[in-house]
Structure 1
Amino acid sequence: MAHSNQLSETERDFIEEIGNGYESRGLRRLQGLILGTLLTKGDPVSLDKLTEVLGRTKGPISISVRRLEDLGLARKVEGPNNRRNYYASHPNVFFKSFAQLKLPTVRKNKDLAERLLARIAAGEESSEQTTESLRHMEAFYSLLESFLEDFAERWAEVRQERFETDEAAP
């Protein structure tokens, strides 16, 4: 990845690690690189600046930025030149990422266990091991869902206390 001279070593490492984290979760590395770049900039960032910093062409950058917008992790903002599109990370990007990427998986797994246990309860055949595994799965994901929901409420409180913003929490 090519970098602008305006980035410090820490910023370059941060951007790379966000990109690597996205890739390790099965997402597009470029989306993580873009998000990492937005998180290092205090001012709105144009598509041209993103292409310069990341050493990529505008097409893939534009597609990835739109996907980040769809996920609620980045947003279009006003910049110095009205004829260009500018972007910034969402002010609550870490929670948004958690809510978009983690919580749905937890709920999906809990629902799967509940659905299959209901079929077993209705008389569908299943081994003791399968039934026991599904019970453990349902209990685990139910508890995790509860913890995550409690965490979301607590984070909203902490965010308001520590990071007063005009943006609505979560």
Structure 2
Amino acid sequence: MKLRRIGKGSESKIELQMTPMIDVVFQLLVFFLFTFRIATQEGDFNIKMPLTTYSSSQTVAAESPVVMMHVRLRADGSGRLRQSGGIVVNGDRVLDSFEQLHNYVIGVIGGHEPSAKADAEVELDCDYNLHYEHLIDAITAVSGYVDKSTGQVNRLIDKISFTPPQAAPGS
């Protein structure tokens, strides 16, 4: 196939129209500004995981925090949190919801100085088959809350540790 030129002297310079391109760029900019959603800050937790050579006597001797809470989360057969007595604090206080746990932590931590709050620690002991959503709810309940009137984040306990996992019964 042979290409021919029509008219040898009719070569003209092609000009690019910049105005429509700039309009499109601004429309894209406005589109992305309106569709951008600012996500709320996800939980940022400082968590100490147990070491393979975990020794509770060495840990207690090395660090003696002002407030130490042991929270036991018990699961039913399907992995959900038990309806009654699913949360046990310090082996003696039985709670039924994470809201009660949150209020208990506020009651215990609220009266202490800020330096004592920084040393407070929670140890979470979970059943082997407990669903992770309940563990996250427990971490949220003890770590802090957002004050609805001011929108400010109030931290409660930053030091959260876990007991070593126990094998599931019957395995």
- TM-score w.r.t. the length of structure 1 is 0.23
Higher relative contact order (CA 8 A, sep 6+): 2
Higher strand share: 2
Larger radius of gyration: 2
Higher helix share: 1
